Amino acid sequence: MDLIRTRIRDLRKALDSKEISAVELCGEYFKRIEAVDKDLLSYITVTKDEAMRSAENAQKLIDEGKSSALTGIPLAIKDNICIDGVRTTCASRMLENFIPPYNATVIEKLNAQGYVLLGRTSMDEFAMGGSNQTSAFAKTKNPYDLERVPGGSSGGSAAAVSASLAPAALGSDTGGSIRQPSSFCGVTGIKPTYGRVSRYGLVAFASSLDQIGPICNDTRDCAVILNAICGHDRHDATSAKAEVPDFTEKLGQPIKGMKIALPKEFYAEGVDEAVKDAVMNAAHELEKQGAVLVECSMPGLKYAIPAYYLIACAEAASNLSRFDGIKYGFRGEGRTFEELIRDSRSRGFGEEVKRRILLGNYALSSGYYDAYYKKALALKQEIIRQYNRIFEQADVILTPTAPTPAYKIGSQDSDPVKMYQADICTVTVNIAKLPGVSTTCGYTESGLPIGMSIIGKRFDETTILQCADAFEQGFVPVAPKL
């Protein structure tokens, strides 16, 4: 079976019609992983034996006519989502041998559907980074150009889907970590509204910003996975009790009359001309379908990066304080309690993680809390107000996903601030707890993908999926040649 960019709905038809069995399909993906991933490095852990057993169980359900949307469908899972009995490393030496004794809620929901786990995808360590190069185990490369980054922190998930090493994957998004790698790798990824998907079992980076979401070959596949993983969870105090719609209900519906806002700050200096042109061309294509383009402004965008990194790093410093080498995780050496903790954290964490812990502790420290962290929280509220004003005159917002296409590996290693600035188009969505979907809207002259983001009102994923799908129906994506 041809696996290149095969969509979940096509695999569903093939499985239900007995064109291929779940075991055979699983085997085909592992053949491709073995052939391609030695160069790409998208997986940290491959779970072949477990997958074959799951595929056999899934096939029994299919034979009995009890299959659901994801029964027998192989998926890859980012390595910061806990799976009972399967190593979960967060791409860090600190958790190199950690095996969770429980499943994350999203995994329980996928298990209920009879999915098949292909493996754990690489990521930036503890989801901190935008390149996937801070991983301690597998520094993933971009399928379109192996000398370029796949984006991060969900770079392994995006690269695996892009290179057809999985038909879809789960990632997590704290400041663009699903959408930016989706843009760099030429696939579609959605960050749902904060609280739409349970975070129980997701190893926390920044608890007020983190959100699990799917990375797929197109918007329709994203909707299928959202249907499976969304919903209130009593294990997660931040889980929303909002009604969960059928996320496929608006797919294919016309977008005539839909108002699409174009905030001018997202198209200003610092955004590559090729990116601007591709996104604006996409806007005009949507306009041809009857959408109405609305010019607007979001002046608070210039404060988004400092506000985001102060909030995220402060929460990271708090969340990662539990990793001390005592109860679990990497244990260092030392004759005293303090020496043991110092050595464990110094050797267990990578440089980027330590940098963010230091920044977070500094922002929370006495004498600096009011000057930095408190002001960042005030900026958060202002950004929310500015989004609310835009949504008074528009249904969705259209922006570039990233200011540039994928950059060369190592080109930003000496300047972390430059890497942080690359998140300018995505972080406000997390700050305001909004849903956002990134899909490919064009390619550079050298063939690198360019992504656009469609941002919606809280809990209005169906509208942004409708808009993204409307564009995708007239756009022909180009898969990488691997």
The series of mean pLDDT values per 10 residues for the chain, 482 residues long, is 94 97 98 98 98 98 96 98 98 97 98 98 97 97 98 97 98 98 98 98 97 98 98 97 97 98 95 97 98 97 96 97 92 94 96 96 92 96 98 98 96 83 96 98 98 98 98 97 87
Let me know if 153 is a catalytic residue: yes
Let me know if 177 is a catalytic residue: yes
Q: What is the CATH number of the domain that holds 210?
A: 3.90.1300.10
Which pTM does this prediction carry?
Answer: 0.97
Catalytic-labelled residue, pool 177, 183, 239, 438: 177
Give the whole-angstrom CA distance, residue 434 versus residue 194.
7
Q: Confirm whether 341 is domain-assigned.
A: no
Please tell me the predicted confidence (pLDDT) of residue 412.
Answer: 85
Q: Confirm whether 437 is domain-assigned.
A: no
Q: Read off the tokens for 332.
A: 């260092």
Q: Confirm whether 330 is domain-assigned.
A: no
Please tell me the predicted confidence (pLDDT) of residue 355.
Answer: 96
Let me know if 139 is a catalytic residue: no
Please tell me the predicted confidence (pLDDT) of residue 269.
Answer: 87
Catalytic-labelled residue, pool 42, 54, 122, 153: 153
Write phi, then psi, for 428 (nearest 5 degrees): -65, -30
Q: Confirm whether 236 is domain-assigned.
A: yes
Give the whole-angstrom CA distance, residue 103 versus residue 357.
27
Catalytic-labelled residue, pool 54, 67, 78, 183: 78
Q: Confirm whether 140 is domain-assigned.
A: yes
Please give the tally of structural domains in the chain: 1
Q: Confirm whether 50 is domain-assigned.
A: yes
Is omega for the bond preceding 414 within 30 degrees of 0, making it cis?
A: no
Q: Confirm whether 158 is domain-assigned.
A: yes
Q: Confirm whether 24 is domain-assigned.
A: yes
249 Cβ contact partners less than 8 Å away, ≥ 6 residues apart: 462
Look up the domain containing 206 and give its range: 8-250
